[in-house]
Amino acid sequence: MTSGSEIEPFLFRHAQHEPDSDAVCIKDPTIRYGNRVAVNSITLTVPTGERLAIVGPNGAGKTTLFKAISGMIEPSEGKVSIFGFPPRRHACIAYLVQRRAIDWNFPVTVYDVVMMGRIRKIGFFRKSRAKDRKIVEDCLEMVGLTALARRQIGELSGGQQQRMFIARALAQEAEVMLLDEPLNGLDNRTQHELIHLLEELSDRNVTILVATHDLDLAAAHFDRILLLNHKLIACGPPSEVFRPALLTATFGHHARTIETQEGLIVVNNDACVPEPPNE
């Protein structure tokens, strides 16, 4: 994978933001689906370049929280801001939905999908410029997909599909990336390759928020962990939040910790719990 030195000038320049503001600021939002409260009592700031893992059982509100951060839904109470302004004023947020939400039979290529990240820069119904094509090519190179640029998206492996969407986010010049369960269905090697790519982006001041069920990967590779079950249970370094009482408050008895000579192992049995249709 290339270091991306050529693409730094356009990928990581900053949009107009409030000086010295955090990348993400959440102040006690309330989000409901009908009479059901999906998210409540969360106050959180995420500084630029941090990797934050959001961990909780199915139906705990992780996807709902991402939709609020991305500006897809607005809280009925409270506030969400990105670099000091409401989310809808930003083109720098990339929301990578769960792979199961994608129609993988749709007749588009990897290159087409990554070029979609340039739409806000190009404008609808306008042709891409040489600059846009160069950016897309560089983003594909950065995630290691140059050779697959003309493949139909359904022909990719799960890890390649995730890399494609990360390339699209880079082409968008995203500074905040929200990834909803990006590790699901990937083998261990592919998971670690994807995590390594996210770490590289974090080193370049891209703020990374990942919803995941993999507690061990979260503990090993993220700066902070947010435990969520409709409300904030705890947020802090893995060593502080992965404690039996806090895990029980988050998962009930579906997660437990085991002390070993190598350290703390977190066991999550949440896969046995059915997932509601909406978070």
Domain ranges of the chain: 8-272
- Among candidate residues 27, 21, 7, 58, the one with its CA nearest the CA of residue 176: 21
Taking only the tens place, the pLDDT of each residue in 94-125 is 999 888 888 899 999 999 999 998 887 776 66
The residues, ordered by sequence, that sit 6+ positions from 34 with a Cβ below 8 Å of its Cβ are none
pLDDT value of position 14: 43
How many C-beta atoms surround the C-beta of residue 6 within 10 A? Answer: 13
What is the rounded average pLDDT for all residues in the chain? 85
pLDDT value of position 244: 86
pLDDT value of position 95: 92
CA angle centred on 217, ends 212 and 219, rounded to 5°: 100
Architecture of domain 8-272: 3-Layer(aba) Sandwich (3.40)
Stated as kind and residue range, the H or E segment containing 113 is helix 110-116
pTM: 0.83
pLDDT value of position 2: 40
The residues, ordered by sequence, that sit 6+ positions from 207 with a Cβ below 8 Å of its Cβ are 23, 24, 46, 47, 48, 49, 50, 52, 175, 176, 177
pLDDT value of position 260: 56
Taking only the tens place, the pLDDT of each residue in 172-198 is 888 999 999 998 888 888 888 889 999
Amino acid at 177: M
Distance, CA of 267 to CA of 252 (rounded, Å): 13
pLDDT value of position 135: 92
Stated as kind and residue range, the H or E segment containing 202 is helix 188-203
pLDDT value of position 270: 52
- Which parts of the chain register pLDDT below 70? 1-16, 89, 123-125, 254-279
